[in-house]
Amino acid sequence: MIRKNRNTNFDPFTDLLFNILLGFTFLFFITILFINPISKIGNVNLKAEYIITVDWKDTLPDDVDLWVQDPNGEIVSYLKKDAGWLHLDRDDRGVINDKVIINGKEVIYPINREVVTLRGIIPGEYIINLYLYENKSNQPVRTKVIIEKVNPTLKMVFIDNIILDQKDTEITIARFHLNDRGDFSFTSNQKKILTPYDLKGF
């Protein structure tokens, strides 16, 4: 039988502190594991191959809509904001959605702009149309349409100034072709209706 040394000091308080330290260390590592996935949730996938933008005069109450069709016949617009690789990033309605609340204060964002992003390459023909949904100014609306290639570097490949004369006018701005590598080539602006409306502009 082995006897314990009576002279060995046993301090329960020190043992308790050691166990608490181990507990905090364990909780610290658990916290680190949970923090990393949460930080990934906030990441936004900004991958884009092409960006199509239409701008018109700031503060103008008119509503210009951008409609884009891909080679598979998928059409993106305010009616369907995701279609294949196409995505409507901003649907501008003139002055209607220009007010934004930031830190409890109303801020006016007067820029009139619609943006469609092409986030992948489908070889074939793409069609870009403009449609004047509202013409509250009762004046012709001057617009600028820009197509930019994003990868590998930002490069403007198309620009045109278009005038929409009256409400319900739809105009085909450009038909362009992308090959397997995503190279851009303008083909024509032959008219094609993309909207489901009864139109005056065609």
Q: How far is residue 173 from each of residues 7, 25, 142, measured CA to CA in Å?
A: 95, 63, 13
Q: What is the pLDDT of residue 151?
A: 85
Rounded CA-CA distance 17/30 in Å is: 20
Q: What is the pLDDT of residue 38?
A: 42
Rounded CA-CA distance 125/185 in Å is: 9
Q: What is the pLDDT of residue 13?
A: 64
Q: How far is residue 148 from each of residues 104, 110, 141, 159, 172, measured CA to CA in Å?
A: 36, 23, 23, 9, 18
Does residue 101 lie in a domain region?
yes
- 155 φ, ψ to 5°? -145, 125
Rounded CA-CA distance 130/124 in Å is: 20
- The reply to whether 180 and 90 lie within a common domain is yes
- The reply to whether 89 and 162 lie within a common domain is yes
Neighbours of 123 (CB within 10 A): 12
- The reply to whether 101 and 181 lie within a common domain is yes
Does residue 193 lie in a domain region?
no
Q: What is the pLDDT of residue 198?
A: 60
Does residue 150 lie in a domain region?
yes
- The reply to whether 108 and 155 lie within a common domain is yes
- The reply to whether 39 and 54 lie within a common domain is no
- The reply to whether 25 and 99 lie within a common domain is no
Does residue 4 lie in a domain region?
no
- The reply to whether 38 and 87 lie within a common domain is no
- The reply to whether 88 and 148 lie within a common domain is yes
Q: Which domain holds residue 94?
A: 50-188
Neighbours of 169 (CB within 10 A): 21
- The reply to whether 80 and 179 lie within a common domain is yes
Facing residues of 97 across strands?
none
Does residue 200 lie in a domain region?
no
- State the 10-residue block means of pLDDT for the chain, 202 residues long: 50 67 69 52 63 90 94 95 91 58 64 92 97 92 96 93 94 97 95 80 44
Q: What is the pLDDT of residue 37?
A: 47
Does residue 138 lie in a domain region?
yes
- The reply to whether 36 and 91 lie within a common domain is no
Does residue 168 lie in a domain region?
yes
- 21 φ, ψ to 5°? -60, -45
Q: How many domains does the chain have?
A: 2
- The reply to whether 99 and 167 lie within a common domain is yes
Does residue 38 lie in a domain region?
yes
